[in-house]
Amino acid sequence: MKLLNFTIIKLSVCLIIGILIGYFYNIPTNSLLPILGVLLLIFTISYFVAKNQFIKTIWFGIIAYIIIICIGILNVSIHNPINNSTHYSNVNNQKNDSTKIITLRIREVLKSSIYDDKYIVDLVKINNLKVSGKSILNIKKDSLNNSLKVDDVFIIKTSLKEVNPPLNPGQFNYKKYLENQYVYHQLFGTKDMLFPLKTSHQTVFGIANKIREHINFKLKKYSFNPDELAIINAILLGQRQNISEDVYTNYRNAGAIHILAISGLHIGIILIMLSSIFKPLERLRYGIYIKTILIVLILWSFAIIAGLSASVTRAVSMFSIVAVGMHLKRPTNIYNTLAISIFLLLLFKPLFLFDVGFQLSYLAVFGIVSLNPTLDKVWKPKYWLFKTLWQTLTVTLSAQIGILPISLFYFHQFPGLFFLTNLLIIPLLGIILGFGIIIILFAILNILPIALANLFGLLINYMNHIVGWVAEKEAFLIKDISFSLFYVVIFYLIIISCFRFIINRNYNRFLLLLTSIILAQIILLYTKMDAPKNQFLIFHKNRYSLLGNSQNNKILLSDNLDSISKQNDGIIKDYMVSNHINNLEKDSLRSVYLLGNKKLLVIDSLGIYNLKSFKPDYVLLRNSPKINLTRLIELLNPKLIIADGSNYKTYVERWKMTCEKTKIPFHQTNEKGTLIIKY
C-alpha cells in the first residue's frame, strides 16, 4: 500500500511543509495574502478547465498543494499573537524591564520549582492599556502554600523579564520551549505584591479547574496518600503538577512516562469502554447517531476537564474521527484517520508540530499500524493468555520502534526493560481507568465505600511499585546517548527500508536497505570527524568555576566544585552528549593556559597578576578577586575580560562599567553564557 496515494496524506504533508517554512522564515502576512489570492484564482480556473478536459494534467494538483503550503505558512503567522496589534509587545511603549502596573488573569497552574510557584497568565492590562498575550508568573513560595486559582484576576506592580536562553551548550532550551507556546516573558513577585480584583468572568479553563478541585476535595476524604492522589490526577484528570520527583523519575527510567500523560492509550481505552456501555442504544431507530454524538461529547468533556493539554487534544481529536467512522459504519483507513486528525490539529494549532508529545504520540501510532501486523505474524499462539501477552508485546515493541530515534534525540536514554514495564502495566492501566471513573463518580455522589477506595489505592500503589522495581534495574537503563537530527532521519530510513524488505523481499528493496546502511555509516563517520577540536570553554556555573579544553573526542575538565555539586552537575554531561564526546579527564585549575598562539590568564581571589613580560589575550576573573581593573587593563592590555559564575554580582557589575569606560570587551557568563575560545 502506497501511503501517498491518499489525498489527505499529501495535503497533510504539504501543510507540514508550509508550517516549517513559516516557522523558520518569518514571512509577513501582507506579502503572502496577495500570492494566496492569485493562487486561489488560478486554482478555480484550472478546476473548471480540468473538469472539461478529456486528458487530465498534473497542474491542478500541483496548484492545490502549493495553496496548502501557503496556508501552512499563513497559519503560523496568523496564530502568532505578536502579529496581533493588541499584543502587549506592540502596545507597550516602555522598556520591558521597567516597572509597570499589570492586570493579569491566571490561566494555568504549572509544576512548582524549588523556590517559586509557577503559573501561565493572560495579560489583561498594562498601565491601563488593554492588552493580550501570555506570560509566566513566578510567585515566591510562602509557609501557607496557598496556590492561586485559575481565572483569578490580580494587579501586580512589576516588570516583564525576558526568558533567559540556556547559558551552557547542550542544555534544554526553556526559552524556545515557551516561545512555541507563545510565551515570551515572565513576571516575578511575592503574594504580598498581588492585589485581587473581583470578576464574574469565567473561562472554560476556570470551570474545568473548579470541577477538578471539587473531585479532589471529595477524594481527600478517603485514605489516599499523596502519591496515589497525584497518579489519579495525572491519568484521570490530566494534571501532573503534584507528582513527586522520585515517582516521576521512576516512570521515566522504566520507560513508562507515557502512562502519566493522558494520550491515545488512555483515550483509546475510554472509547472502548464507552462503546460497550452505549451499545444498547443501537437498538433504537437513530440509536447509532445518538451513541456517536454521546461518545464524542463525553470524550471532549473529558478533554476539557483534563485542561485541553496538547496530548489530550490530539488524542481526543484522533479518536473522535475514529468513533465517527466506526459507529456510522463507514470504515476508514487508519492512515487516513491519522492524517485527518493531524491536518485538523495543525490547522488550529500549527506549533503542535514542534511539541515533543505530538511527535511521539503520532510516531507511536504509525509504528503500531505499520509494524505490528508484521511482528504479529512471527508467532501465532493457541492459548488466550499467551496470545494476549504476545499481542501486548508486539504492540509495545512496534510503538517503541516507531518512537526510538526521536526519543533518543530528545532524551538521550533508552530503557532496556520497557517491554517488561508495558507488559505489566498496560493491562493494569485499563482496569485503573475504568475503576477510577467509577471511584470519581461515587465520590462526587458521596456513595463511595471506603473498602472500594482502599482497593483502588492498592491498585495504584501496586502499579507504582512495579514501575519502581523496574526503574531500580539501572544496568538496563542506557544513558547519555549522543543522537543528532541526522541520526534521526537515517535511522527512520533504516527502519522503513528494513521492514519493507521483510514484507516483500526483492532487489529494489534490498538495494534501498543497503543504501540506508551505507548512509548511516557515512553520517557516523562525519559526526565523529565533526566533533569539536581545539576549543577552550569557560562554562557558567553559579558560585563555581568550570573550565573545559576539548580536543580529539576528549574534554579536559578543570573545576573547583564540591562533591555534592559534582554529583548533581549536568553541564559537562550535556555538552559531551550534544557534541558526541566520549572521554573525560580531570585537571587542576591553572593560572595560565596556552591555547595555540593565544594566552589566557586566570586571576583568582588572591588577585596576583603582576606579569610584566606576559601579555595575555584573555583575562578570566574568578572567585571575586579584589583588584583595580583599570590598572590591570593598562598593564596587560588584554583583548577580552571574562567573569565567570564564581564572582559576586556587585563585582561583576563594577567590572562591566570599567570595561565600558576603557572600551575593552567584557564577557560575563551569567548573561552571555559559556565563552568558547577556538584555537
Q: For the chain, what's the residue count?
A: 679
What's the 3-state SS for 247-267? Answer: HHHHHHHCCCHHHHCCCHHHH
- CA distances (Å), origin 57, targets 53, 60, 70, 327: 9, 7, 22, 38
Using CA atoms, how far apart are residues 446 and 90, in angstroms rounded to an integer? 51
Task: Say what the pTM is.
Answer: 0.85
Using CA atoms, how far apart are residues 347 and 338, in angstroms rounded to an integer? 14
Please give the pLDDT value at position 413.
Answer: 87
- The three three-digit cell numbers of residue 306, written as one number: 483534563
CA angle 523, 527, 529 (to 5 degrees): 115
> Pick from 116, 106, 111: which is nearest to 202 by CA?
106
Contacts of 357 (CB under 8 A, 6+ apart): 261, 263, 310, 311, 314
CB distance 513 to 525 below 8 Å: no
Phi-psi sector, 524: left (phi>0), alpha (psi -120 to 50), beta: alpha
CB distance 393 to 346 below 8 Å: no
Instruction: Give the position of cell 451513541.
Output: 291
CB distance 314 to 361 below 8 Å: yes
Task: Kindly list the strands in the beta sheet with 666-668, ordered across the sheet, starting from the edge strand earlier in the chain.
Answer: 592-595, 598-603, 618-621, 640-643, 666-668
Which burial class, exposed, middle or buried, applies to 48 when counting CB atoms under 10 A from its CB (0-12, 13-18, 19+)?
Answer: exposed
What do you get for the CA distance between the two ends of the chain, in Å?
54
How many C-alpha atoms does 111 have within 13 Å on its Cβ side?
11
Please give the pLDDT value at position 499.
Answer: 87
CA angle 6, 8, 11 (to 5 degrees): 115
For the chain, state the CA radius of gyration: 29
- Mean pLDDT in runs of 10 for the chain (679 residues)? 66 93 84 80 75 65 87 91 87 68 91 87 91 92 76 91 90 91 92 87 84 88 88 86 86 82 79 84 84 88 80 80 69 75 89 87 85 84 80 82 90 83 79 86 89 90 89 84 91 91 87 92 87 90 92 88 68 90 89 91 84 82 92 90 94 94 94 92
β-bridge partners, 188: 138
Contacts of 531 (CB under 8 A, 6+ apart): 553, 579, 580, 581
Element (H, E) at 540: none
* Domain boundaries defined on the chain: 3-79, 88-201, 262-354, 485-529, 535-678
Indicate the fold that domain 88-201 takes in CATH. Answer: OB fold (Dihydrolipoamide Acetyltransferase, E2P) (2.40.50)
